[in-house]
A = this chain, B = another copy of it.
Amino acid sequence: MSLLIRKLDSTQDGFRQKLDALLAFEASTDDAIEAAVTTILHDVKQRGDAAVLEYTNKFDRIPGGGAAGMAQFDIGQAELDAALAGLPEAQRAALQTAAERIRVFHERQKQELQGFSYTEPDGTVLGQRITPLDRVGIYVPGGKAAYPSSVLMNAIPAKVAGVAEIIMVVPTPDGVKNQMVLAAAAIAGVTRVITIGGAQAVGALAYGTATIGAVDKIVGPGNAYVAAAKRRVFGTVGIDMIAGPSEILVLCDGTTDPDWVAMDLFSQAEHDELAQAIMLCPDADYIAQVEASIDKLLPTMPRQSVIRTSLLERGALIKVRDMMEACEIANAIAAEHLEISAENPQQWADLIRHAGAMFLGRFSSESLGDYCCGPNHVLPTSRTARFSSPLGVYDFQKRSSILYVSEAGAQTLGLIAAELAYGEGLQAHARSAELRLQPVRFKQPS
Contacts and interface: CB of A to CB of B under 8 A. Distances in A.
Contacts of A388: 238, 398
A336 to B, nearest CB: 11
A88 B402 CA distance: 32
Contacts of A125: 360
A269 B356 contact: no
Most chain B CB inside 10 Å of its own CB: which residue of A148, A266, A423:
A423
Given A357-B400, A424-B149, A419 B370 contact: no
A406 B155 CA distance: 27
Interface in A390-425: 390, 392, 394, 398-407, 409-410, 413-417, 419-421, 423-425
A417 B387 contact: no
Query: Copies per complex?
Result: 2
A241 to B, nearest CB: 8
A112 interface: yes
A329 to B, nearest CB: 15
Interface size class of A (residues with CB under 8 A): 35 or more
A95 B420 contact: yes
Given A131-B353, A428-B263, A432-B365, A235 B398 contact: no
A417 B371 contact: yes
26 contacts: A94-B420, A134-B353, A134-B386, A217-B387, A259-B435, A260-B432, A266-B431, A267-B426, A302-B427, A354-B398, A356-B400, A357-B400, A357-B401, A358-B403, A361-B405, A363-B407, A363-B436, A367-B428, A367-B432, A367-B433, A368-B433, A369-B403, A371-B429, A372-B417, A390-B401, A392-B399
